[in-house]
Structure 1
Amino acid sequence: MRKRIPILLLILISWGCISNKRITYLQNLPENEPIELNEFIPFAEVDYKYVLQPFDIVEIDFASSDEELTKAFSYQNTTAGGMSGIGGGGGGGGQGSDPLYFRGYSIDQEGRVEVPKLGKIKIAGMTEEDAKNKVQAEINKFFKEEVYVRLRIAGIRYTTLGEFNSVGVKVIYKNRATIFDALANSGETTLLGKKNKLFIIRQYDGGTKIHQINLNDRALLGSPFYFIQPNDILYMEPMKIRQIGTADNLTASMALFAGLLASTLLIINLVTGN
C-alpha cells in the first residue's frame, strides 16, 4: 500500500498540470515554417483599412480661424478628460464610462451621421480618410471660410466572453489595435482558456461571420485577424478541466490533497517504524 501512495500522488499531480504548449503564445508550431526570433514578419497581404459600419461612433473635429463658425458644427463643445492611450470599458462594461459615446457622432442604421448645419451625411462603407473628405466636401459647399475637418473612429469597442479575467464591453482609445492589445486590456485569459480556440465574431456588410484563431501559433502575426475591429466579440472556449472548477480552486484542491497524502504517508512510516 505504501508503495502505491507515491505513485498515486504523481498521477494526480500530473493530471492536474496543464502543458506549457497549451498556454504559451506565438509558438513555432510543427505545421508552420520556422520563424526566427529576429525575423521580420510582414502584416497580412490584406491591407488593413477599416471600413466604417452602421452603429460605429466617429469623432469629428472642426478647425477654423473663426471660432464661432466651428462651434456651429458641434452638439457639445466640451472635451473628454482623463483618457489614456488604451482604456477599458470598466467592470460593468457600460457606455457610462465612455466619454466619446456622448461626444462622438453615431452612424445610424442607414449609415449616416447627422452634423449640425450640414444634415445627414452617409459615410458607412468608407474608410476614415474617405469619410473625412466627404464631410469636408459638404462643408465646402456652404461656407466660403476655411474650415478644416478631422474625422476618426472614436475608439475601438469590443466584447469579451468566456475565459477572460475581465469580461464585458471594452474600449481601446486608438484607431488600430492588435489582438494582444485586446487581451491585455481585458486582463488576459484565464489559465483554463483554450488559446488555440479563440473565436472572433465579426460584423460584415450584410451579415456576421465567426472566425477561429490560434493564439499559440506565431503565424497569427501575419494573419488578417491580428488586428481587431470595432464591434468584434471575442469568445475564449474553456478546457474540459473547467468542469471541475476554476484554475484557482483546482490548484488549491490539488495542493491540499497532496499535503494530506504526504501527511498520511509520514504517519504510516512512523507507525510501522520504517
Structure 2
Amino acid sequence: MNKFYKAIYILVAVLSFTSCTNLKKATYFNNIPETRFQSNLENLEPVLSENDLLSISVSSLNPEATQVFNPMNSSEISKYNENKSPEYLIDEDGFIRFPFLGKIKAAGKTKQDLREEITNELVKRKLLVEPIVFIRYLNFRVSVLGEVSKPSVLFIPSEKVSILEALSLAGDLTIYSQRNNLLLIREENDAKKLTRIDLTSDDIFTSPNYYLKPNDVIYVQPNKAKVESTSRLITWLPVIISVLSFGIIAITR
C-alpha cells in the first residue's frame, strides 16, 4: 500500500511539473519582476526605399505661392491619406518628381533628410519664404501570419508600432503558437534578414526589434501539439470518411 501511495505522489509531482512547463510555454514574459526597461529607439526612423508612397505637403507665409507645391488630384489620392495631400511614389531609380524642383533622390534617406533637402532647395531658389515641409509614410505596413487569430497586413498611420501592438492587432497568438520562437523577416540593403524572437523573455523590451519597420513580416510558428493534432487528423480522416460512407449506405439500404 505504501508503494501505491508513493507512486501516486510521484505521478502527481510529474503532472504538476508538466503543467507548469506548459503554462510557461503558453504565457508571455515569465517571472519578470517589477522593473523599468529603456527601449532601444536607435535608428527608429526607417530609411526610404523604392516603391515607398509618401505624402508631401508644403506651407509658407504666402498661401497663394504655396498652392503650386500642393497639386491635388482626388482620383489619385489613396484611402490611407487622411489629409488628402499630394502623393509621391519613389520610382525604381529611387527618385520622386517634385513641382519646380524636378527629380529628387529619396531612396536611401530618412524622411528628415528628404524634408531638409526640399526645404533648403525652396529657400535657395527663392521659391518660398520660410517654407514648412510635411512628409508622411502612406504605405507603412507590417504583415503578421501563422498562429495568430487574424493573420493580417496591418497599415500603421502613426508610423510607429511595436511587435506586441502588431500581434494585438492580429488578434493575439493562438494557444498553439511557439511564443519563444517567432520569426521576424526584415528587408535591409536589398536583402532579407531573419531574426528569431522569444516573447517568454524580457529581452524583447531592450531589443532593436521591439519596434517594427515598414514591410516587416512576423511569422508565428505552430507548436508540437498543433502539428501532432493535424497529423492525427490526416491519419484518421480516411477512416472517418469510410465509416460515414458505410453508415450512409447502410441507412439508404
| TM-score normalised to structure 1 length | 0.67
1:130, distance to aligned residue in structure 2 (A): 1.2
Partner of 1:110: 93
**1:141 pairs with one of 118, 124, 127:** 124
Does 1:22 find its partner at 2:25? yes
Contact 1:194 1:237 (8 Å CA) reproduced: yes
Contact 2:186 2:194 (8 Å CA) reproduced: yes
- Partner AA of 1:206 in structure 2: D
SS at match of 1:169: strand
Partners of 2:73 and 2:144 in 1: CA distance: 32
1:102, distance to aligned residue in structure 2 (A): 9.3
Contact 2:28 2:199 (8 Å CA) reproduced: yes
Does 1:224 find its partner at 2:227? no
Indicate the larger mover: 67-76 or 211-220. 67-76
RMSD over aligned CA atoms reads: 3.2
Partners of 2:132 and 2:122 in 1: CA distance: 9
1:47, distance to aligned residue in structure 2 (A): 4.3
Partner of 1:178: 162
Partner of 1:237: 221
Contact 2:142 2:217 (8 Å CA) reproduced: yes
1:242, distance to aligned residue in structure 2 (A): 1.8
Q: For residues 12-44 of structure 1, give each alpha carbon's deviation from its aligned partner in whole angstroms, at most 9, with x where no partner exists.
A: xx999992211211224xxxxxx531x221123
In structure 2, the CA distance between the partners of 1:71 and 1:77, relative to structure 1 (3 Å rule), is farther
Q: For residues 67-114 of structure 1, give each alpha carbon's deviation from its aligned partner in whole angstroms, at most 9, with x where no partner exists.
A: 333332234276xxxxxxxxxxxxxxxxx7534699532222222222
SS at match of 1:193: coil
Does 1:126 find its partner at 2:109? yes
Structure 1 gap segments, 5+ residues each: 1-6, 29-34, 79-95, 250-274
Partners of 1:160 and 1:45 in 2: CA distance: 22
Partners of 2:43 and 2:106 in 1: CA distance: 20
In structure 2, the CA distance between the partners of 1:132 and 1:58, relative to structure 1 (3 Å rule), is same
Q: For residues 42-81 of structure 1, give each alpha carbon's deviation from its aligned partner in whole angstroms, at most 9, with x where no partner exists.
A: 1238443322222222221211233333332234276xxx
SS at match of 2:180: strand
Contact 1:59 1:152 (8 Å CA) reproduced: yes
Partners of 2:179 and 2:103 in 1: CA distance: 43
Partners of 2:177 and 2:79 in 1: CA distance: 28
SS at match of 2:181: strand
Partner of 1:188: 172
Partner of 2:192: 208
Ranges of 4+ aligned residues in structure 1 off by more than 6 Å: 14-18
Partners of 1:45 and 1:116 in 2: CA distance: 34
Partner of 2:146: 162
Contact 2:81 2:138 (8 Å CA) reproduced: no
1:176, distance to aligned residue in structure 2 (A): 1.8
Partner of 1:263: none
In structure 2, the CA distance between the partners of 1:40 and 1:47, relative to structure 1 (3 Å rule), is farther
More helix by share: 2
Partner of 1:266: none
Does 1:42 find its partner at 2:25? no
Structure 2 gap segments, 5+ residues each: 1-7, 234-253
Contact 2:52 2:139 (8 Å CA) reproduced: no
SS at match of 1:196: coil
| TM-score normalised to structure 2 length | 0.72
Contact 2:142 2:154 (8 Å CA) reproduced: yes
Indicate the larger mover: 128-137 or 151-160. 151-160
Count of matched residue positions in the alignment of Structure 1 and Structure 2: 212
Partners of 1:208 and 1:55 in 2: CA distance: 17
